[in-house]
Structure 1
């Protein structure tokens, strides 16, 4: 895999901090505790509290005066998933970029109980809390995989007035058709990501991660991904499972720019899912990546970053 400005060394350094080898910086007074690889990351961490009291870890990169992009990761992932965007020099010069560790993931709080994960309202309120507390002015919302549901939750509860645009990336927007699901979607269930026992849990997570990529990550990158996937406990993953996904009405009512990005070799969510999203949202644009799997933003970051840049610029002109 080609090297990019976000070096594997930085990825692994930040990943090590995330799994507890060293604390993430939460205040200037603690800066001397942060390892050198994390100190050079040039990001601002901050915790935001949702209305139900769950503390959400957020990370800000880039130009604080630029148009805002808010990144939401997928099932059992973390803000680190967006490393090749958050550390991209071109994106950083132009945009204010914020990524969240969703509740139950990464360095965010992990309360027990389905009440913290099953209702769509809690996910909607998380997104609204981050936008409000960080003062994000009409951000472009970028959602990968499971985050398509979270975008749907947000739109259902709070509407689209606070957003400038949306980028669905291999994202779930409906469960209404079996054709939307790829051959490896079953790995999200008891045979892999929800497998009982430590060995099954680890093995299942590895299998799921492998299935996310048509172009496999380098070993150091995969190691970091596995580390932050393991931060999502079994009860959190179970809490995310089985939620309804009925977002067709809000998609049809959207009147803002929408970009749908999707890898055609995705074995988790098939291309018909993306085609459905693009066809349901008035005026949405579909961008397919023939050589990518479930994570085109990682597998083809140069193309994806260029398209995201152009999309956000367009949004600023049209809004």
Structure 2
């Protein structure tokens, strides 16, 4: 299935941005136009399968499961032949990256996770969520009120423009993805935390202090072998989409992280 990609910069050092479910690459606008990031790195932001301007599956049960989405993400990255890159994920994009890691022919040099929604057997996905906005919108035809409530949860101070954009991202998503992905997310058999705990990949974790989708402190007691700066960065005046609420802080952290791990 064709994958639509936005790309800027010419460096052989790359940053690949992976959005969450029901979103699209446009959520990375403030990162893709950041001059410092553009100067130092090639910036790549695909629309995931079934999202935005990418193709839609004719076999949704296979392609829209978490494993299926991760397989397609790995195929996309492997086809790029990149050797020196960082993966940036937000929201459920962090789940897809975690699931795709074993399938990558050339692993990334580091992982940068914002609003991570990863779990394991002791911390199931349902327990990570404060309250599940997905329950009301992972359907083919949700109410406008449900879409508005879902959109408002994603950022610290939602504007009318943001809410309208969020709704458009939703309508640009394959309706079959919404129901199929919803079933797999609710089943929640993934064990992503354990794999990342023992990974040799540097891992930067960023959360908004006003996070309103996942529990802010659920990863605080988890030890990760290569947690960058040995901290979880909690950004003030920011919600789930930290990159949207506080792009300057987010971009500076990302630049520091990428500079360090891609220049070794």
Task: Work out the CA distance in 2 between the residues paired with 1:82 and 1:246.
Answer: 27
Taking a change above 3 Å as real, the CA distance of residues 168 and 273 of structure 1, as seen in their structure-2 partners, is: farther
Cα distance, 1:258 vs structure 2 = 0.8
- Which of these residues, 154, 173, 176, is aligned with residue 232 of structure 1? 173
- Which of these residues, 183, 187, 194, is aligned with residue 138 of structure 2? 194
Task: Work out the CA distance in 2 between the residues paired with 1:80 and 1:289.
Answer: 21
Aligned to 1:80: 26
Cα distance, 1:196 vs structure 2 = 5.7
Aligned to 2:86: 140
Taking a change above 3 Å as real, the CA distance of residues 106 and 196 of structure 1, as seen in their structure-2 partners, is: closer
Aligned to 1:209: 151
Aligned to 1:18: none
Which one has the largest radius of gyration?
1
Q: Where do 5+ consecutive residues of structure 1 fail to align? A: 1-53
- Which of these residues, 246, 256, 267, is aligned with residue 201 of structure 2? 256
Cα contact 2:74–2:101 (8 A) shared by 1: no
Cα contact 1:124–1:154 (8 A) shared by 2: yes
Aligned to 1:108: 54
SS in 2 for 1:222: helix
Aligned to 1:31: none
SS in 2 for 1:93: helix
**Count, aligned residues:** 254
SS in 2 for 1:56: coil
Per-residue CA distance 1:213-232 (angstroms, 9 max, x = gap): 1122x433432232122111
Indicate the structure whose relative CO is greater, using CA pairs within 8 Å and at least 6 residues apart: 2
1:297-312 aligned at under 5 Å gives the runs: 297-312=243-258
- Which of these residues, 190, 198, 221, is aligned with residue 245 of structure 1? 190
Counterpart check, 1:266 vs 2:211: yes
Cα distance, 1:151 vs structure 2 = 1.2
1:282-301 aligned at under 5 Å gives the runs: 282-285=225-228, 286-301=232-247
Cα distance, 1:106 vs structure 2 = 0.6
Aligned to 1:65: 11
Give the TM-score taking structure 1 as reference length. 0.73
Give the TM-score taking structure 2 as reference length. 0.87
Cα contact 2:12–2:84 (8 A) shared by 1: no
Cα distance, 1:201 vs structure 2 = 4.0
SS in 1 for 2:254: helix
